[in-house]
Amino acid sequence: MIKEIREPLIFEISAAGKRASELPQLDVPAKKDLLAGVPLRREIDDFPEVSETEITRHFTRLSTKNYCVDMGIYPLGSCTMKYNPKINERLAAHPAFAASHPLASADLVQGSLEVLKKLEGCLCEIAGMDAFTLQPAAGAHGELTGMMLIRRALEARGDARKYVLIPDSAHGTNPSSAHICGYTVKEIKSNEKGTIDLASLEQEMTEEVAALMVTNPNTLGVFESDICRIAEIVHAKGGFVYMDGANLNALTGVVRPGDMGIDVMHINLHKTFSTPHGGGGPGSGPVGVKKELVPFLPVPVIVEKGGRYTLDFDRPGSIGRVRAYFGNFGVIVRALCYILTLGPKGVREIAEFAVLNANYIRKSLEGEFYLKYPTASMHECVFSDKFQKEFGVTNLDISKRLIDFGMHPPTMSFPLIVHGALMIEPTETESRRDLDMFIDAMKAIAKEAKENPEILHAAPHVTYVSRLDEVAAAKFPVLRWEKKA
Ligand SMILES: *Cc1c(COP(=O)(O)O)cnc(C)c1O
């Protein structure tokens, strides 16, 4: 691979008088002030002046500098970076949806309301819950909404309680959501299988505990096989079980959280049910509840009667709105399209292929990379750099070297209970061929670590910039071009 040439800023290739297109000489009198009243951008000094070829090449070259799921495997653990079928994009962009006004009266947007209600129904069936709200804008927002519902339900019983229990394998958003909702977080230890230790749970679960927040399968990619017993322990003390359902990709069509004793959960539509993500959204984190929590759901609730859809704001127990309008509607359209095009059999195959692919990677790479928890994987497997550390090679070196092989690195250094973690989630959309290319690259890197560690320390070699100061890049981004004096 050749090293790319540096792409200058468009300001740097500008030269006064260059034009993208030139019109022929006028053969009629010129008319002045044609642009009077049009807001022209005069505030940028030295607005770039470039030719059409330069504009086209500049932006085309920039567009090739990003990695995307349309290009290859994107095995970021916990992120479920699956391929997004183009039909979902086409439908979300359809003017009937994209141009529908969020403030239009219910009478004028019956079709859009039907989409919302249909998706609520599909999610209830897939998750085994009694109702869903589609308002939350992301997973973490769903967690906060879910915890607010729990707090409201407990307040209605007379005591909001004080603590929320969270296992040490949890996603970092769980403790922050519980904390923002006014709860004190207590950590529950994992056992050697990587699941919740029942004895610790029994000890910590008191009548001062509002809820247990559990991710299932957890961030080690391990299924909490004692989940029914876990729910019994929490319910016996009057608490609620919140499930972080961001990893529902491993369960769809196979088991239903509602049948495992879960009272409240969120689903990340942007992980399990399509939508391009990474780079900041938009996402969608619908929250599903059991009957007892339905009265507290955010308003408005969409009500269907005889094929007509109306909005019910008259719900005195509601926690209120958590998001303007109806949430991120385009993401909702994509999710419904994904579910309907796959059908019940296809929805089950999401989980079957996701789990098969993760286990294929785990079996193919065990021995080459250290596996702290050798339990069978669900949707992802978590290796670490323990073997490579002997040669002075870290998970960062391994990740950076994968870029040279034309692949996106896995999630690194998370979950925190695996030191030097490499968390790999292939998703169901990778073919055997793509999985084998990834496995071959990882094996080649393990070999290099032993024989030629320097090549890893200096990776990536094929990108214009190699190792960035990642803290400075995030904290002091250069967003404005200053003309050199
Ligand atoms: C992604 C994820 C979240 C957070 O979802 P966002 O949409 O990024 O807010 C929470 N929990 C788990 C387990 C996740 O994988």
| Average pLDDT over every residue of 241-270 | 97
Which string of DSSP letters, residue by residue, matches 88-106?
HHHHHTSHHHHT--TTS-G
Task: For residue 30, tell me if it sits in a domain.
Answer: no
Banded model confidence at residue 224, pLDDT cuts 50, 70, 90: very high
Q: Would you say residue 39 has pLDDT above 80?
A: no
| Average pLDDT over every residue of 68-72 | 90
Q: Would you say residue 4 has pLDDT above 60?
A: no
**Contact between 202 and 162 (Cβ < 8 Å):** no
Closest CA to 341 of 89, 162, 153, 154: 89
> Percent of the chain beyond pLDDT 90?
78
Our count of domains for the chain comes to 2
Task: For residue 97, tell me if it sits in a domain.
Answer: yes
Classify strands 308-312 and 301-305 as parallel, antiparallel or unpaired: antiparallel
Question: What's the CA-to-centroid distance between 80 and ligand 1, angstroms?
Answer: 10
| Ramachandran angles phi, psi of 418, nearest 5° | -115, 110
| Average pLDDT over every residue of 344-357 | 97
Average pLDDT, the chain: 93
Asked whether residue 366 falls in the same domain as residue 308, the answer is no
> Percent of the chain beyond pLDDT 70?
97
Task: For residue 442, tell me if it sits in a domain.
Answer: yes
**Contact between 277 and 299 (Cβ < 8 Å):** no
Question: What's the CA-to-centroid distance between 256 and ligand 1, angstroms?
Answer: 19
Task: For residue 51, tell me if it sits in a domain.
Answer: no
Return the CA Rg of the chain: 26
Question: What's the CA-to-centroid distance between 141 and ligand 1, angstroms?
Answer: 9
Final residue of a domain: which of 308, 325, 342? 342
Tell me how far the alpha carbon of residue 200 is from its chain's centroid: 31
Choose one of 80, 81, 168, 171 to mutate for the ligand 1 pocket test, by most ligand atoms within 8 angstroms of C-beta.
171
| Average pLDDT over every residue of 414-436 | 95
Banded model confidence at residue 484, pLDDT cuts 50, 70, 90: low
What is the CATH classification number for the domain harbouring 357?
3.90.1150.10
Question: What's the CA-to-centroid distance between 78 and ligand 1, angstroms?
Answer: 7
Number of C-beta neighbours around residue 309 at 10 A: 18
Written as six digits, the tokens of 278 are: 């990474």
Number of C-beta neighbours around residue 255 at 10 A: 15
Ligand 1 atom at minimum distance from 271 CA:
1
Asked whether residue 118 falls in the same domain as residue 209, the answer is yes
Q: How far apart are CA 378 and CA 78, in angstroms?
A: 11
| Average pLDDT over every residue of 198-217 | 96
Task: For residue 204, tell me if it sits in a domain.
Answer: yes
Residue 267 Cβ inside 6 Å of ligand 1? The answer reads no
Over residues 357-411, the pLDDT tens digits come to: 999 999 999 999 999 998 888 999 999 999 999 999 999 999 999 999 999 999 9
Asked whether residue 320 falls in the same domain as residue 459, the answer is no
Task: For residue 43, tell me if it sits in a domain.
Answer: no
Question: What's the CA-to-centroid distance between 403 and ligand 1, angstroms?
Answer: 24
Asked whether residue 370 falls in the same domain as residue 455, the answer is yes
Ligand 1 atom at minimum distance from 141 CA:
9
Question: What's the CA-to-centroid distance between 210 and ligand 1, angstroms?
Answer: 21
Tell me how far the alpha carbon of residue 241 is from its chain's centroid: 22
Residue 177 Cβ inside 6 Å of ligand 1? The answer reads no
**Contact between 278 and 408 (Cβ < 8 Å):** no
Asked whether residue 302 falls in the same domain as residue 316, the answer is yes
Banded model confidence at residue 93, pLDDT cuts 50, 70, 90: very high
Asked whether residue 325 falls in the same domain as residue 420, the answer is no
Residue 215 Cβ inside 6 Å of ligand 1? The answer reads yes
Asked whether residue 364 falls in the same domain as residue 380, the answer is yes
Question: What is the per-residue pLDDT for 216?
Answer: 93
| Average pLDDT over every residue of 2-10 | 72
Choose one of 173, 275, 427 to mutate for the ligand 1 pocket test, by most ligand atoms within 8 angstroms of C-beta.
173
Q: How far apart are CA 306 and CA 155, in angstroms?
A: 35
Q: Would you say residue 436 has pLDDT above 90?
A: yes
Domain span including residue 434: 345-473
The residue nearest atom 5 of ligand 1, judged by CA position, is 139
Residue 425 Cβ inside 6 Å of ligand 1? The answer reads no
Task: For residue 2, tell me if it sits in a domain.
Answer: no
Choose between 335 and 221: higher pLDDT.
335
The residue nearest atom 6 of ligand 1, judged by CA position, is 139
Residue 247 Cβ inside 6 Å of ligand 1? The answer reads yes
Residues 6+ apart with CB under 8 A from 455: 401, 448, 461
Residues 6+ apart with CB under 8 A from 201: 165, 188, 212, 230, 233, 234
Question: What's the CA-to-centroid distance between 228 and ligand 1, angstroms?
Answer: 23
Task: For residue 64, tell me if it sits in a domain.
Answer: no
Final residue of a domain: which of 311, 342, 373? 342
Question: What's the CA-to-centroid distance between 353 and ligand 1, angstroms?
Answer: 21
Question: What is the per-residue pLDDT for 280?
Answer: 63
Asked whether residue 104 falls in the same domain as residue 226, the answer is yes
Q: Would you say residue 1 has pLDDT above 50?
A: no
Asked whether residue 395 falls in the same domain as residue 313, the answer is no
Asked whether residue 178 falls in the same domain as residue 263, the answer is yes
Written as six digits, the tokens of 243 are: 């499930």
Final residue of a domain: which of 309, 342, 375? 342
Over residues 98-121, the pLDDT tens digits come to: 999 989 999 999 999 999 999 999
What is the CATH classification number for the domain harbouring 262?
3.40.640.10
Q: How far apart are CA 269 and CA 139, in angstroms?
A: 9
Asked whether residue 438 falls in the same domain as residue 371, the answer is yes
Question: What's the CA-to-centroid distance between 139 and ligand 1, angstroms?
Answer: 5
Asked whether residue 275 falls in the same domain as residue 186, the answer is yes
